[in-house]
């Protein structure tokens, strides 16, 4: 990964309390896993931003290296990598995701 791409990803992660790297957008997810994450975050009713990896191919590959995680979507809360769709579902069902989001938005 180039230093420029790493800096671009870090800037996005740091500037957004809740950020999802996904296929498509929150208004039009382009895969089922991305849609799962959007539905969970919409259910929580929290503000979040998305980056469409289909529109930014350098980020699509770079984010996998950045997080050392092979799949999309990827969720970042307060600059910390949380995981993908399956982890989001588990955290949501246990109530942990709600707590993480509340802490992030309060800080």
The number of folded domains in the chain is 1
Q: What is the CA radius of gyration of the chain?
A: 13
Q: What digits encode the pLDDT tens for the residues 2-31?
A: 999 999 999 999 999 999 999 999 999 999
Average pLDDT, the chain: 96
Angle CA 99–101–106, to nearest 5: 95
Count Cα atoms within 13 angstroms, Cβ side, for 84. 16
**Which CATH number goes with the domain that contains 36?**
3.40.30.10
- Please say whether the beta carbons of 29 and 23 come within 8 A: yes
Q: What digits encode the pLDDT tens for the residues 81-95?
A: 999 999 999 999 999
Element at 16 (helix H, strand E): none
Query: What's the pTM value of the predicted model, to 2 decimals?
Result: 0.95
Domain interval for residue 67: 3-106
3-state DSSP call for residue 67? helix
């Amino acid at each position: 990964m180039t230093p420029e791409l790493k800096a671009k990803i870090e800037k996005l992660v740091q500037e957004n309390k809740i950020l999802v790297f996904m296929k498509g957008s929150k208004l039009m997810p382009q895969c089922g896993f991305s849609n799962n994450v959007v539905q969970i975050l919409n259910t929580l009713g929290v503000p979040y931003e998305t980056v469409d990896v289909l529109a930014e191919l350098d980020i699509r590959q770079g984010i996998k290296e950045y997080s050392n995680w092979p799949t999309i979507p990827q969720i970042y809360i307060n600059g910390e990598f949380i995981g993908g769709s399956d982890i989001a579902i588990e955290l949501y069902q246990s109530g942990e995701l709600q707590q993480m989001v509340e802490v992030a938005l309060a800080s």
